[in-house]
Chains A and B, each alone.
Chain A
């Protein structure tokens, strides 16, 4: 089954305009009630455990982790290395490369560039590899929790 993301093109500017398709009235769940208790709460907890164990969710989670864990490691190590090099080995950083440009300038620009690149790569990865599966899981999970809560919305 495929779902359309009702928000995808609905970039309403915040002044109460819909996107003209009526998609905004798609089933949006009730706000989470704090301290939800009773049998319905227990059943909803079962739903979340069940979804968490499902292969579809495990796939979404591992795709997220497989990108984020190495990416975080890379940029944190690269940033710490940059700061430590600048404070502990300014001699190396001051080495000229071409004209007024030295190693430090290149490293600084490299930080800007790697930040832009990683941000772009993350957005692309999330859009292509995660969004659709996550959205399907979202509607499925909401259907299930709505079911166990006796149709309350």
Chain B
């Protein structure tokens, strides 16, 4: 990669940063102050706008660069991985989007706390939301650092560290100055750029093979050196029984975790009604599904056109598959078109990371201010101060994410993302579903459901081979590995549901029929929704 690419890529990065900062100042010019405005952007986005923003919030660099890279190196197993990310949206659409929009105001804890003893439930749900957000945020920061260093050809630790700091500073500025409105517009811009860039590359790949998908697949299989095995499952997740079980665990976490991601749930509060929330979920399913289908074509295209040897030489995990494919499709490293395409892809990847981190920062600052601070503060403090707290919390979360991002620099990004999904599925989903659908659910059940999913998920990770006991782990020198799987989902998700049930049947508190009636009526009709 020559200097030309880097200069152009840097120029486009700067243009994107300038545009997003422009959006932020334009948005924050007026309408400051209210919680409604800061957390939910005034709730007046249209379903289409919100659908694009959801897609922009959901598809992280792990999707844009990671999935095609995975497919280019491991063939069909990359497809297997990506299907979970899409199917998960049916859980969101059927069980969560409309009902949460009707029952809550700003956060997941709102939905649960409406039925239960306010304080303990809010603290529990707030804690798990912040945990999930921080895990996901660290994954994105680590990805940003290594990615930008990679794309700009600066492999030194310094460039990587400065990238993490720069991304952290930008996301704090977006969120604390612009709130949900600026974050949403940044995500919309990013989604349009990402869909556009991916569509152009997909068309170029298809043109290269004259629209013959069969030949694309056969060429990819042939060049991969695996033959037909490249087009069937097993190259990555097919090892021994533990590896296969690990993938089932990951698949479960992906499908059930999306509906528990705080930054996805909070997006549904930015539209006026449950019906609009449903329509934005439909938009996002269309966009995300279309994007993943194109990502699959790009993955096989990279294997067929660039070849796995070159890809592995550039980045062992395959994360540079899309930029290298763009370079090749444009006509090679020395051509103007190749340079432009490469720079565009790099800029889109950068935009992707910025938009996702802004969304997560906003959701976690809402959890800190609206759930944790509001439950722990003294009574009678004014509403105004909650938004001020959220702005400060965004800065605090930024600092924490930068610090953890620098510390966790060498951890695998895909693992961190899988972990965030597993914690969301174990700690957030059981309590959310129980409060929406179970008449007899009680406060103790809610608190147990959260901690009964959160603590096992985290403990199992500490005891897993990721942390100790294998050459690739975080502390290769020591061995306190007790749990064989990398992803805890298959154990911790059932535990979360079980703990919620156990807490409910053992509690002395009688379930409040009236509160349940209120939740049910409000969730299905929208009565009293803000």
Contact = CB atoms under 8 A, between A and B. Distances in A.
Interface of A: 5, 7-8, 10-14, 16, 28-29, 31-32, 34-35, 44-46, 48-49, 51-52, 57, 60-61, 64, 68, 71-72, 75-76, 79-80, 82-84, 86-88, 90, 93-94, 96, 99-102, 104-105, 108, 111-112, 115-116, 118-120, 122-123, 126, 131, 134-135, 137-138, 141-142, 145
B83 A141 contact: no
Given A7-B275, A52-B520, A115-B87, 20 more contacts: A13-B44, A32-B114, A35-B118, A44-B518, A48-B517, A51-B521, A61-B524, A75-B87, A76-B255, A83-B80, A94-B228, A99-B217, A99-B218, A101-B214, A102-B231, A123-B278, A126-B278, A134-B525, A135-B525, A138-B525
B299 to A, nearest CB: 12
Nearest to A64: B524
- Kindly name the residue among A52, A75, A79, A86 whose own CB sees the greatest number of chain B CB atoms within 10 A: A86
Contacts of A82: 83
A48 to B, nearest CB: 4
A100 B244 contact: no
Per DSSP, chain B at the interface is helix
Contacts of A80: 251-252
B273 A60 contact: no
23 contacts: A7-B275, A14-B181, A31-B105, A32-B114, A35-B118, A49-B513, A49-B517, A60-B524, A72-B90, A83-B248, A87-B247, A90-B234, A94-B234, A100-B215, A101-B217, A108-B79, A108-B80, A111-B83, A111-B86, A115-B285, A116-B286, A131-B275, A137-B525
B143 interface: no
A93 to B, nearest CB: 5
Nearest to A61: B524
A104 B76 contact: yes
User: When A and B form their complex, which 9 residue pairs have the shortest distance between CB atoms, in order from nearest?
Assistant: A94-B232, A45-B514, A100-B217, A141-B527, A11-B46, A86-B233, A52-B517, A87-B244, A48-B518
Contacts of A131: 275
Given A45-B518, A100-B218, A11 B47 contact: yes
A79 B527 contact: no
Interface string B65-107: 0000000000010011001101101110111001000000100
Nearest to A96: B228
B377 to A, nearest CB: 13
B289 interface: yes
Given A99-B214, A137-B527, A141-B521, A108 B93 contact: no
Interface in B405-454: none
A34 B221 CA distance: 60
B248 A87 contact: yes
B45 interface: yes
B272 interface: yes
A96 B515 CA distance: 56
A83 B76 CA distance: 12
Interface in B211-247: 213-215, 217-218, 221, 228-229, 231-234, 237-238, 244-245, 247
B213 to A, nearest CB: 8
A72 B94 contact: yes
Given A7-B272, A86-B233, A93-B232, A14 B95 contact: no
Which of the four size classes fits the interface of chain B?
35 or more
A120 B48 CA distance: 15
B524 A32 contact: no
A74 to B, nearest CB: 10
B530 interface: yes
A123 B293 contact: no
A2 B282 CA distance: 27
B367 to A, nearest CB: 16
Contacts of B118: 34-35
Interface in B256-298: 272-273, 275-276, 278-279, 281-282, 285-286, 289, 292-293
Contact of B91 (A10, A72, A87): A72
A32 B251 contact: no
B526 A119 contact: no
